[in-house]
């Protein structure tokens, strides 16, 4: 498929525009999935929100007069005192900053991380309301302009990436958002000028399992524009797990799912069915490990998979073949097959599920 220097022809976006219209129609109906994809009653999750905390979850009590829990109680008070000072002074800190206020007292970073999550859950407010930020590891590129909280104006580029911001106040539009699992694939797409060729679009990567800021940004883009959002992940259980985090959230952050998930996200590739369809050689595939099979079985048992019959079909193909494939397997067809043929055709002809 050839592209004009300034972007694809208008007809390239026809199917994307139709998909966006179906998403908006679903929103008007009060759901997160377009008609025809299937819905199911909420159990441990809501199809329009993602994973949710159950109302009758077990509570853990920490008492100040108990020798067994006195240290935990003291640590919680320490973090609460830091939060109080941050809120009073209208300043912000990272969890790493809090750890270094008394590293010997906390012992390790994981202690602070757990306490902050527990406080956020206990007070039923997002972490940002506690004036605690996360250090970004994600990257973003494409047709996006935004204003950071301090007033700094950032104009993203289609050829270079910038770090995902911790907070944004202003934001501008694009036709679609592509979430890329791995940094290596993200950088290759930039090198191939994929953003310029499919402009206006936005690309983001969480460099594997996404950090909080990357998930917040994806949700912000959805809330602001309701543009189609697609994921490009390896055809393996780990890639599917990452996609599920963006779409449905994680158990550890289920109390904040409404701020972190976008159930309208679609799986663009690499699909297990693409491996056979494109005649990718077997010697480029990788056998599933026992850990892979365990992860795949776990995902197939999750309640939200029953709402995604097409996803289930793809995962069953993987389970039957006992093979997985990285996105880089497409380079067997040609070095730029991903950016020149695979993604443009998927986007133009609606090759997502």
Query: Annotated catalytic, 100?
Result: yes
Point out the catalytic residue in the list 84, 100, 304, 342.
100
Question: How far is residue 226's CA from residue 23's CA, in Å, rounded to a whole number?
Answer: 8
Question: How far is residue 48's CA from residue 261's CA, in Å, rounded to a whole number?
Answer: 9
Long-range CB pairs of 17-22 (<8 Å, 24+ gap) are 17/175, 18/350, 19/228, 19/266, 19/350, 20/226, 20/227, 20/228
**232 phi, psi to nearest 5 deg:** -120, 105
CA atoms within 13 A on the CB side of 320: 9
Q: What phi-psi label fits residue 217: left (phi over 0), alpha (psi between -120 and 50 degrees) or beta?
A: alpha
Query: What is the strand order of the sheet 162-163 is part of?
Result: 162-163, 139-142, 201-205, 176-180, 229-232, 266-269
Catalytic residues: 100
């Amino acid at each position: 498929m050839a592209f004009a220097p300034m972007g694809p022809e208008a007809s390239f976006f026809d199917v994307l525009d139709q998909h966006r219209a179906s998403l908006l129609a679903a929103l008007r109906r009060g759901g997160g999935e377009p008609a025809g994809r299937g819905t199911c009653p909420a159990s441990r999750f809501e199809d329009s929100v993602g994973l949710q905390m159950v109302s009758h979850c077990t509570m853990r009590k920490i008492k100040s007069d108990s020798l067994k829990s006195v240290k935990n109680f003291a640590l919680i008070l320490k973090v609460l005192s830091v939060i109080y000072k941050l809120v009073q002074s209208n300043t912000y800190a990272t969890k790493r900053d809090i750890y270094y206020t008394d590293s010997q007292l906390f012992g390790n970073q994981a202690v602070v991380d757990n306490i902050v999550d527990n406080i956020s859950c206990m007070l039923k407010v997002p972490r940002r309301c506690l004036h605690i930020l996360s250090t970004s590891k994600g990257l973003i590129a494409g047709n996006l302009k935004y204003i950071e909280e301090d007033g700094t104006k950032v104009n993203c580029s289609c050829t270079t990436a910038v770090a995902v911001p911790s907070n944004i106040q202003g934001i501008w539009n694009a036709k679609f958002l592509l979430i890329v699992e791995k940094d290596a694939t993200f950088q290759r797409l930039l090198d191939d000028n994929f953003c310029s060729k499919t402009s206006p679009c936005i690309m983001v990567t969480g460099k594997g399992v996404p950090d909080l800021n990357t998930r917040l940004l994806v949700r912000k883009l959805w809330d602001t524009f309701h543009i189609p959002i697609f994921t490009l992940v390896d055809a393996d259980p780990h890639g599917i797990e990452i996609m599920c985090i963006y779409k449905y959230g994680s158990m550890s952050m289920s109390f904040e799912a409404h701020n972190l998930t976008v159930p309208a996200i679609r799986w663009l590739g690499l699909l297990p069915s693409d491996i056979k369809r494109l005649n990718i050689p077997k010697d480029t595939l990788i056998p599933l490990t026992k850990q892979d099979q365990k992860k795949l079985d776990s995902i197939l048992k999750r309640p939200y998979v029953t709402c995604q019959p097409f996803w289930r079909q793809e995962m069953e193909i993987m389970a039957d073949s006992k093979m997985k494939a990285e996105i880089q397997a497409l380079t067997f067809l040609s070095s730029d097959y991903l950016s020149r043929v695979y993604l443009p055709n998927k986007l133009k002809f609606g090759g997502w599920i």
